[in-house]
A and B are shown apart, each in its own frame.
Chain A
Amino acid sequence: MTYLFFPGCAYHASAGYKESTEAVCREIGIDLKAIPDWNCCGATVFMGMDMDEAALLTGRIFALAEKTGNHDIVTGCNACFTTLRKFEKKLKEDQALQQTINHKLASCGLGIKKISRVRHLLDVFVNDVPDSAWEHGRKNSVDSIRAGGYYGCQLTRPEGELSHPEQPDILEQFISRLGFAPVDHSAKTMCCGASHAVPYKKQSGKLIKRIIKGISLKEADVVTTICPLCQFNLDNGQSGLPKGGRLPVLFFTQLAGISLGIPFSDLGLDKLLIPFKGVLKHRR
């Protein structure tokens, strides 16, 4: 299975997202081809500063993807996912906008005719990869490890195409398929504060503590996320909590790698701020 991959800017320096995504995709037979010369999607920032520039940034990405052949564009970042799919829709609906963008793109030898579909890597793992690949691939017995899924805001909102906007279950399906014990809790789609953690640290800190509290009250051993910014905020945002009360925050790709028996050193687990190792000792 080949997909066009939009890594996004936060992917490379995050806590092992790149390492674990690559290792798991290799194991499971998925070929992620990075869109050549991809640029930043503009995130929520450009939409709030200049909507025309925001459309141009995403337009360039769709054009580069089209040049490579219209495979689905897959990304592992919630912000990239929502920004790209927002403009996927806008460009499809608004011919005048498409024309304006094409006019500018022509100066770079690019253009848009057919717009690729934007998808999240979790969607591919759950809906394209057969269940048996995960179930038969299990090498580690992980059923004693309780994992709380954390979706953040922008996977299921605003539209909820992939799973319910406020009570989604796609991540829990995946957690079960890997053999971990999914934990049901009320903080699945509460906001982590995103980039507000920089200028509004105190206010964002409250949100992060509420999320961790909600998950740890259900006696989870780990939290699992699907977005680099969510992972960063939940991992870093626990630094004020007592050591015994902290939960390691892993990417869903790292959970997959653990289940598939991929060595920890290939999953970038040493890059987490709150270490995962203690969990295994505790549970064995």
Chain B
Amino acid sequence: MMTMDQKTFKRLFFEKKNGRSILKCIQCGTCSGSCPFGNDMDHAPRELFQLIRDGEMEEVLRSNTPWYCVSCYQCMTRCPKEIAVTDLMYTLKEMAVKNGFAPSHKMPDLYKSFSQTVKRFGRVTESLVMAGYGIKHPLDAMGALPLAVKLMFRKRFEVLPQKIGQPEKMKPFLTAGVEKEALE
């Protein structure tokens, strides 16, 4: 579902905070070599930045790369050109989610379940996040059952949601009065 042409997405990326910083990238690969999940990515960061510069935005936004980024900040600490790699991955995640490019990856489903729990209760309870995710990925949920039992034995399995005083106010606080454009 390509809603925009590649050029527009490229322009939008460059307008984002630090977006233009990838023009400084010297393609040294320190980021990719430092990444704990670099081998699992469709395109590790060095390659991804080149694809953005080449304007291959559909490939970029559909790739699993931002979703494998775990926010360890190793790349950012080491980048010789001081590019805020991790922050740019947040930008790409947001662009992918808001424009419908992320449905084939698992991580966005976990993110959605997490953010829905926060919007509903103001706090996160792990069992609820897992339940929301498990509906879409039953095999992962089943695999976590033995662990759930172990946690129950240790009184660490919370069934009741943790919440703030007036949870019903959280969602309007976060979302009301904000024009959510498909493309930002």
Q: Identify the A interface with B (CB < 8 A).
A: 9-10, 12-15, 37-40, 42-53, 56-57, 60, 82, 104, 107-108, 153-154, 157-158, 160, 165-166, 189-191, 193-196, 198-201, 203, 207, 236, 270-273
Contact = CB atoms under 8 A, between A and B. Distances in A.
Nearest to B112: A49
B142 interface: no
A193 B169 CA distance: 33
Contacts of B111: 45, 48-49
Contacts of A14: 156
18 contacts: A13-B156, A13-B158, A40-B118, A40-B124, A49-B115, A51-B90, A53-B174, A56-B173, A158-B77, A165-B77, A190-B36, A191-B36, A191-B70, A193-B70, A196-B37, A198-B110, A199-B107, A199-B140
B154 A271 contact: yes
A203 B178 CA distance: 38
Most chain B CB inside 10 Å of its own CB: which residue of A13, A42, A52, A166:
A13
B122 interface: yes
Contacts of B94: 48-51
B96 to A, nearest CB: 9
Contact of B164 (A39, A45, A165): A39
A60 B172 CA distance: 13
A52 B118 contact: no
Contact of A196 (B70, B89, B124, B125): B70
Contacts of B66: 48
Contacts of B150: 273
A158 B140 contact: no
Given A37-B165, A48-B90, A194-B70, A207 B36 contact: yes
Nearest to A64: B164
Interface of B: 36-37, 40, 66, 68, 70-74, 76-77, 86, 89-90, 93-94, 97, 106-107, 109-112, 114-115, 118, 122-126, 130, 133, 137, 140, 143-144, 147, 150-151, 154-158, 162, 164-165, 169-170, 173-175, 177-178
Contact of A9 (B40, B110, B125): B125
A158 B111 CA distance: 22
A166 B165 contact: no
Contact of B126 (A10, A47, A200): A10
Nearest to A165: B77
A13 B157 contact: yes
Contacts of B90: 44, 47-48, 51
A190 B106 CA distance: 23
A11 to B, nearest CB: 10
Contacts of B73: 153-154, 157-158, 165
A9 B114 CA distance: 11
A15 B156 CA distance: 7
Contacts of B124: 9-10, 40
Contacts of B177: 104
